[in-house]
Amino acid sequence: MWDAVKSMKNEGLVSLATFASVFSSYVSFDKVKEAVLTFEVMDQYGCVRDIVALNTLISAICREGKTIDGLEFLSVAKSRIRPDLDSYAILLEGWEKEGNVSLAKTTFDEMVAEVGWDPANVPAYDSFLSTLIKGKDGVNEALKYIDILHQRKCSPGIKFFRDVLEDFQKVGNVRGAELIWKAMVEKVGIRPDTEMYNLMIELYCSKNYTDTAKKMLDEMVFTGAFPDMQSYNVLFHFLIKNRKLKDASVLFNEMVKNEFFPSKTDCIAAVKIFLDIGDPYVAVKVWKFMIENYDSDLDETGNLLINGLRDANMLPEAVKYAEDMIEKGIKVTSATLSRLKHSLSREKKDGVYEELLRKWKSS
């Protein structure tokens, strides 16, 4: 490796990128000491040992999960090269990856002492708070430091809040998410985007707090975020799943109006449930949407609708939708046809059945 570096020096090709590669090679083979010695001889190869070079070495060390070595190197090197914001941001990112709350606090305190408070130091604040929140009493610890940052006119960025909300959504931590959301909106003044609203909507829905999820959906437009396909589909899915069917019916109308179409799976479930509870009119509305917007896997739901209308004493409607299915090439089963025959015969409408059978056979 060094033969190549010497050859590059003779040709005037050595740069910081050259040494960055050497640092990474040494550290990846657990030779941090050799990487540090390489840093010490950089100037002999025409490269300045400045803060950029120092941060490059610290970054190489921390990437390999050896943040403690990076901290020890900085504690020695800072007597010659003054650390900057990036120096500490790199170390704090390392502690975040390693989950070391204690040393993250130590590094944060040293950072404040060395370089002070700076509103631009968002990556460092993000990493520090992300480490704290995963530790013991993490939410309260993070909120405490958000207050401290706020007092110094500093704050974490939207990335921290988005990542935390995503983590809390995955584990179902409603209380933690609400506290972080409040700090983000009221303390820091960040406007949540659509993705962040969707995380909260899904979290509330997963805990059966669909009323609160609907309030979040309604609130979005007033804060500059707008519902998207996911916003509507998540809420519709859980309203159907939890049989909150009046709300589901209202939301379905809103979705279709705004051209955020519900998934086929949820539509199938909706048709079945609305038939089960004796509300065939909404079931028909959902079915009409399905045949206008989906062109496959409709047979089972269509036959379910026909039989449901028949059972609800809506025989003319059952025949109408059977004819419509046949015309559109959606399979009406012989069992469904047999049930219609029985009902039509009882109503002395054998001619209607014969016409339906003729269309069925010719399809």
Tens of pLDDT, residues 179-214: 999 999 999 999 999 999 999 999 999 999 999 999
Q: Does domain 263-363 have CATH number 1.25.40?
A: yes
260 touches 232 (CB < 8 A): yes
* pLDDT per residue as tens digits for the range 240-255: 999 999 999 999 999 9
For residue 363, the model assigns a pLDDT of 74
Residue 256 has pLDDT above 90, yes or no: yes
Using pLDDT thresholds of 50, 70 and 90, give the confidence band for residue 19: confident
Read off the pLDDT of residues 290-349 as tens digits, 9 standing for 90 and up.
999 998 999 999 999 999 999 999 999 999 999 999 999 999 999 999 999 999 999 889
Q: Tell me how far apart the alpha carbons of residues 186 and 360 are, in angstroms, rounded to a whole number.
A: 64
pTM confidence score: 0.86
Q: How many helices (H) and strands (E) does the chain have?
A: 21, 0
pLDDT, the chain, mean = 93
Please write the tens of the pLDDT for every residue from 66-119. 999 999 999 999 999 999 999 999 999 999 999 999 999 999 999 999 999 999
Q: What's the mean pLDDT in 108-134?
A: 96
- pLDDT value of position 45: 79
| pLDDT for the residue numbered 4 | 59
Please give the Cα distance from 75 to 71 (Å, whole number): 6
C-beta contacts of 203-209 below 8 A and 24+ residues apart: 203/165, 203/168, 203/169, 203/172, 203/174, 203/177, 204/174, 205/234, 205/235, 205/237, 205/238, 206/169, 206/172, 206/238, 207/172, 207/174, 208/238, 208/242, 209/174
